[in-house]
Amino acid sequence: MQGIDVQTTKNKFKISLDKKIYNEKIISSLLNFLELEYLASRVGLENDIMSLAKEIKSDIWKKEKVRLGY
């Protein structure tokens, strides 16, 4: 992926994002989404709700790619 560097250690993922490509609003949205994904997995939501979340996520990223010109 352009502008993203992911490094893996024993216990963590280290993600670096190019400031020229990703602004704070995008990063904040991503972090909020990741937190919701984590909380949803802990609660054990039904498969149909998780499917809906994946569909929403896909739609969000499609719109962001268009907005960013990818």
8 Å CB contact between 57 and 33? yes
In the chain, % of residues over pLDDT 70:
91
Q: How far apart are CA 20 and CA 36, in angstroms?
A: 26
H or E element, residue 15? strand 13-17
Beta bridge partners of 7: 14
What pLDDT, in 10s, does the model give residues 7-31? 999 999 999 999 999 999 889 988 9
Work out the average pLDDT over 48-66.
79
Q: For residue 39, what pLDDT band results from cuts at 50, 70 and 90?
A: confident
| DSSP structure string for 25-61 | HHHHHHHHHHHHHHHHHHHT--HHHHHHHHHHHHHHH
Q: Is the pLDDT of residue 35 over 80?
A: yes
Q: Which of 22-31, 34-43, 44-53 has the highest mean pLDDT?
A: 22-31
